[in-house]
Amino acid sequence: MNTDKRRGRSLAALALAAATLCSAGSATAGDEGPLYAQVFEAARAPIGWVEFCAANASECATIPSAPRDIVLTTTALKDLVSVNRYVNDTIKPMTDIDHWGTIEKWSYPDDGYGDCEDYALLKRRLLIRAGWPREALLLTVVRDRHDEGHAVLTVKTDRGEFILDNQVEEVLPWSETGYRFIKRQSQRDPNVWVNLGDSRPAPTTVAHQHR
């Protein structure tokens, strides 16, 4: 994709989110979907996350804390678009089978290659290092438009939940992605996962797709 097209898509994302910023702080954004996904009972953590924590104990040695949402200023939104675009443009897509010889492995794409959960992990790490609260940055398992497992990063804000996705450059409200949301990390404890109300069983693996 050339630079002009990238810029156009990013501007479109900013325009869409800016419209949400201008809405009243109600449960819905005009005629669009709800601002927040419904959270239900605790869910089983994805095996990829469990194994990631086993290999990266310091990353998961957190203390439960109170939920926090980002105040979605124009600057914060631009930062989200910038991080999403940077990671998507920098990391080359590669399935876990091709990368590691295993069906499922969550890891930071420090060698420049990864699949969807690796993109999401890196975006989360970059935002935390930039001072964003962990409690607002939630790894999330969804089913995409092809009904396949996929992972994204949910950013919880005072204006709704926005999605950082390796398949698209736009930072979209969760209800505008076309995905079915299965489960994600709890705001209180990243090692606890919660269901998001989808009656279909969650995928055992979350994505092996190229962009």
Domains and CATH numbers, the chain: 3-22+35-195 (3.10.620)
Amino acid 201: pLDDT: 54
pLDDT tens, residue order, the chain (211 aa)? 444 444 445 444 554 555 444 443 333 344 467 999 999 999 999 999 999 999 999 999 999 999 999 999 999 999 999 999 999 999 999 999 999 999 999 999 999 999 999 999 999 999 999 999 999 999 999 999 999 999 999 999 999 999 999 999 899 999 999 999 999 999 999 999 999 975 445 555 555 544 5
Q: pLDDT at position 33, please?
A: 76
Cα 96 from Cα 186, distance rounded (Å): 26
Strands, sheet with 42-43, edge to edge from the N-terminal-most edge strand: 42-43, 193-195, 180-185, 137-143, 149-157, 160-164, 172-173
* pLDDT value at residue 3: 41
Q: What integer pLDDT is reported at residue 197 of this predicted model?
A: 76
pLDDT of residue 117: 98
What are the CA-CA distances from residue 205 to residues 82, 117, 141, 209 (Å)? 28, 10, 9, 11
pLDDT of residue 24: 32
